[in-house]
Chains A and B, each alone.
Chain A
Amino acid sequence: MSAIDVPIREAPLISASRLLAERGFFGIVWLDAELQVTGRYGPLVAFVSIGKDVTETILPFAGLEADLLALRSDRHAVLDIPSVTIVTNGERTPRLNLAAVWSEAENCILILASRAVLSVDLEVELNRQIRARLIAEADVVAKSVELQHTNAELERANTDLEQFASVISHDLKAPMRELRFLADDVDAMLAAGDIDRSRTALAAMRQQSGRMSAMLSSLLAYATAAQKVDVLEDIDTAKLVAAVVNSLPRPPKIRVEITGDWPQLNTFGALLDLVLRNVIGNALAHHDRADGHVKVHASELKESLLIEVSDDGPGIDPAHYDAIFLPFRTLGDPAKGEPSGMGLAIVARALSTVGGRITVHSDALKTRGTTFSIWWPKSTVTIQKNCPTPYNVHSFSNDA
């Protein structure tokens, strides 16, 4: 006797069989000697009509009457019809395995109906579960990437906020303080009846007020630089750089030369304009001689457009490399009408938005001239890929 053939008392066996049949694991149909249905048990065989010929109610047995009757003489035989769906009156049964056997105890033919489970069912179910899992995993990855982007944005916003706080508290404070002192002076001068000096002080106040206004405009340009990435356009970069150069004020003897390969790009035109305008404008504005030469050269790399802006101006002390890309940091004097120091900060911010970078090569202690190298991504795909954090996009070197 094998392990599974442990004798079970009849009552629990019947009870278990009844439970399984009632739960729809199988159904039983009883046939008499004329192959008429005399009874059925279980919801799985609810479609079977009692009192009818089996071939009329369990259609797959139609034509197999002789085989059914032969079960009486071959009492160990089983007539199997696997995986059938019976469609009657528009209703479909579940897919069933049908098996007819002779019951010695009841002296009749029994038909056992059970739910058909084919390997293909398992495969379909497995595929369904794998697909559901893959979808769920992809969803998690997408959400994770989204979260990373959100965190990066948040970090960037925080950095912006800190930088703005710093700018407001330090850089804007100076002209504000100056205004207050000048107002005190005017007050004292008017009290003393010194009209001429008070007029001079008022003129200085207007100058400081103008400076503050210029600083606020620059600050606005800086703050909105990152918002210019909405529109992708087909840009003829050759035409764009020529237009930028032509629009910039410059001393008549400073020559601007545009060389190299300037391709057609589908890119953020407003930002590229902003970057070129500020870098070239920076080279022109800081030139210290009446005649000079600024060269704007482009070369196509695999994933980016390399734009080099070189001048023969005074150069930059390597000690100031960090400072020139920060807001309101300038080597000139804004109070004397020189640039406010926001140009390169705006460039760095714009490049951080598109995933580009900028380096500076200059050493004022040894020689004249500065070269800014800008790597502008050629495709938006590159932009996405190369945009991990906002402020690591510009690197500073004097040996590039």
Chain B
Amino acid sequence: MKFLGEKGVRRVLAGIAFSAISALLLIALFIIKEGLPFIISYGPVKFLLSSDWQPQAGKFGIWPMIVASVWVTLGAMLVGAPLGVACAVYLTEFVPRRVMGVIKPTIELLAGIPSVVYGFIGVMVLAPLIRSQLGGPGLSVLAGAIILGVMILPTIISISIDSIQSVPNSYREGSLALGATHWQTTHMVTVPAAKSGIIAAIILGMGRAIGETMAVIMVAGNAVKIPGSALDSVRTLTANIALEMGYATGQHRQALFATGVVLLIIIMILNSLAGMAIRKRAGKR
């Protein structure tokens, strides 16, 4: 690298870094360019709030998919957030550092399992179980929520662990020295002090859940309708795009891009909320 010199290296690195950022920008621009004109010409209210999705008839209302995404994601949070936060609290406050050094990487391995494998387990194990025990088709909001809830655990656990570990030890000592028990210290001082980091972890997990596609297609059943209960089949926004993109043309294709725009906006909002939570914490120190 000597012939490039210090400045040359900097330029090369800058070029590589910029190409990564520009890929992101180009994707966003492309989706917006393809989708936004459709939203405007079809009418945003009709597009977002009408329940009729009949591409052949020229009807493109994504309300059922929005409702489905919201329910599946909220369900996933109900499963993943308490489990994840409890796990993080237990690992940081109640387990020796050594044990934690083994368990944390194991949990992070969960993030490395391909989503199709989660979906496969959902189809083979979870859906039949729901069908036989609770009724309905099995492929449902509930199945999607449980699978996604498990899939987002690594995100929630590892970010929560980082934020609980960054709580100064002097807070714990101060509390214990006042006669608080270990558990009182944990839930009255340590966890509240890590609150913004834990909230950021949950929001990032939520972003993952709402964007997840493959596992959800496999376990949620994909029926385009507003679910009446947790046991009904639903189709999420992501599933809608993936399922129909292969054969969509013309307006139909634009409508799918428009669905992508809606997803992009939701995820951008979630990420900036998480960013705000993290910055708020940084500002406190």
A and B bind: no
**B→A interface (CB under 8 Å):** none
